Amino acid sequence: MVAFHASYDLAYLYGISMPWFTVGPFQEIWRSSISWTFLALAGWMTIYSRDNFKRAGVYGLSALTVYIATTVAAVDTPVNFGILFCMAASTLIFALAEPVLKRVPPLPALIVLLALFALTWQVPHRAYEVWGLSWLGFPSPTFASGDYYPLVPFTFMYLAGSYAANLFKRHFGTGAPAWMYARRVSPLEAIGRHSLLIYLAHQPLALLALNIVFGS
């Protein structure tokens, strides 16, 4: 994630020639590998969270912070309905619907959710003559965002993560295989514990570093 955003900044904000990043499908593949993993892991953690309503609130406040910061800074297109918004809304949906979701067998649910994700992937990639539904996945012709992750299709990936966690826990009996507990890596554990803070701080710090190196 940090490397991706640093590459984006170099290519689009500082004009550094990076055809490997700006030409061809590599950028989109890299972006998707990051965001899909984020959403699936956030969904995964729903079954281990003590308070998913609180998690939704933290994500929501973080999303609002990013929106305000990117609007005021005006370095690039402000972030409207970005990945933190999607995580906040999806966590809230899970928290509200958890009693019902728990009744659904995890394997069929996982398969259906991944299928829905694939089938609705193109929904937010076009404009619609409607207003006020960009958050859902139907952006208007005037909608713009520097980071766009509406509920359709991305909530399906989030919920798929929660059902994948259920399957994993049933198989291993714990949150992870035994070898993961035996071979602990402290730096990775620290990153995991502070992942949201790293997400919020890495882009401003990267821009500051690049500004020092390349100038404004």
Contacts of 102 (CB under 8 A, 6+ apart): none
The CA distance from 165 to 40, in Å, is: 9
The CA distance from 47 to 98, in Å, is: 10
Mean pLDDT for the chain overall: 92
Q: What is the pLDDT of residues 104-158, one digit of tens each?
A: 999 999 999 999 999 999 999 999 999 999 999 999 999 999 999 999 999 999 9
pTM: predicted TM-score of the whole model, two decimal places? 0.91
Q: What is the pLDDT of residues 83-94, one digit of tens each?
A: 999 999 999 999
What integer pLDDT is reported at residue 4 of this predicted model? 93
